[in-house]
A = this chain, B = another copy of it.
Amino acid sequence: DFIHALEEVKPAFGVHEEDLQECTKGGVLKYSSAIDDILNRGTRAIKQARESDRFNFSSILMHGPPGSGKTALAAAIGLASEFPFIRLISPDAMVGMSEAAKVQFIDNTFRDAYKSPLNVLVVDDIEGLIDYVPIGPRFASTVLRALMVRLKKSPPEGHRLIVISTTSSYTVLRQLDMLGCFNDEIGVPNLGSLDEFARVLEATRFSDAAGRKQVLQSLASVVSEVNVPIKKTLFNIDTARFGENPVQDLVELMVESTTPLRR
């Protein structure tokens, strides 16, 4: 089992496991076939990265709505590679840095990622990395440039690198002419059908079987399907536990999340 592997791998050198494992803390629930497809596509990419005769470099883009699970999936695929060098670039680490410092930081991390024979780099939340803000719009253009150069550059011979990037704004990346930097693109969807939601309810052991059934029935009487990111879904389930009437509260929270008020 692909994901199961996660727990057994302890790469010897260069891995900042804590960071990436932090990202998958909530686990990867296989709540739909779309999740299986994503993990298979990830497996193929890792295999190519390890064995291809022609390319010692590839660059994958995971894109989907906020909270849909991109970071968790990218981290899971990266960790499952068992490559000796695995690392994460994320906006967290760079808050308050000047643009120049960010460029330096990115460049150094990429250079490090050329050092072992097999390397994985997770470049998380590209809009965050380039400080993209839709109003304006604004972004750090030197950071963007540094990323674009690095995302197209093979490591020196004898070294192999796969970069897995994530974004919540596919459109923005297209507008920035960044799509040419990726060799493949993988879409990550929101939770859709009530069946998928049922599987999450079960996996998180919400209430008891009767309670879960009631939730699904009540929900089905209001909406035909949900459109809620897995992250929000898991939080709603948790919040409801602390309400006075968990079953009713969860239904309300899921309905609110599916049809948010537009103010």
Partner of A96 from B47, B96, B103, B137 at Cβ < 8 Å? B103
Complex CA gap A162/B241 in Å reads 17
**Is A222 at the interface (CB under 8 A from chain B)?**
no
Stretch at the interface among A5-13, A28-36, A146-154, A208-216: A146-154
Least CB distance, A101 to chain B, in whole angstroms = 10
Give chain B residues whose Cβ lies under 8 Å from the Cβ of A133. Answer: 139, 141, 144, 176-177
**Is A51 at the interface (CB under 8 A from chain B)?**
yes
The A150-185 residues at the B interface (CB cut-off 8 A) are: 150, 153, 168-172, 175-177, 180, 183-184
Complex CA gap A168/B47 in Å reads 31
Partner of A242 from B44, B138, B153, B177 at Cβ < 8 Å? B44
**Is A66 at the interface (CB under 8 A from chain B)?**
yes
**Is A193 at the interface (CB under 8 A from chain B)?**
no
Residue ID in chain B nearest A103 by CB atoms? B96
Tell me the number of copies of this protein.
Answer: 6
Query: Contact: B138 with A131, CB < 8 Å?
Result: no
Query: Contact: B239 with A184, CB < 8 Å?
Result: yes
How many interface residues does chain A have, given as a range? Answer: 35 or more
Residue ID in chain B nearest A51 by CB atoms? B242
**Is A55 at the interface (CB under 8 A from chain B)?**
yes
Complex CA gap A245/B235 in Å reads 39
Least CB distance, A91 to chain B, in whole angstroms = 5
Give chain B residues whose Cβ lies under 8 Å from the Cβ of A176. Answer: 133-135
**Chain B proximity mask over A124-136: 1 for CB below 8 Å, otherwise 0:** 0001100101110
Give chain B residues whose Cβ lies under 8 Å from the Cβ of A177. Answer: 66, 127, 133-134, 168-169
Query: Contact: B92 with A153, CB < 8 Å?
Result: yes
Interface centre among A54, A92, A103 (most CB of B within 10 A): A54
Query: Contact: B145 with A48, CB < 8 Å?
Result: no
**Is A220 at the interface (CB under 8 A from chain B)?**
no
Residue ID in chain B nearest A65 by CB atoms? B180
4 additional A-B residue pairs with CB within 8 Å, beyond A138-B141, A187-B263: A55-B238, A63-B263, A127-B177, A133-B176
Chain A: residues with CB nearer than 8 A to chain B?
Answer: 26, 44-45, 47-48, 51-52, 54-55, 58, 63, 66-67, 91-92, 95-96, 100, 103-104, 107, 127-128, 131, 133-135, 137-139, 141-142, 144-146, 148-150, 153, 168-172, 175-177, 180, 183-184, 187, 232, 234-235, 238-239, 241-243, 249, 261, 263
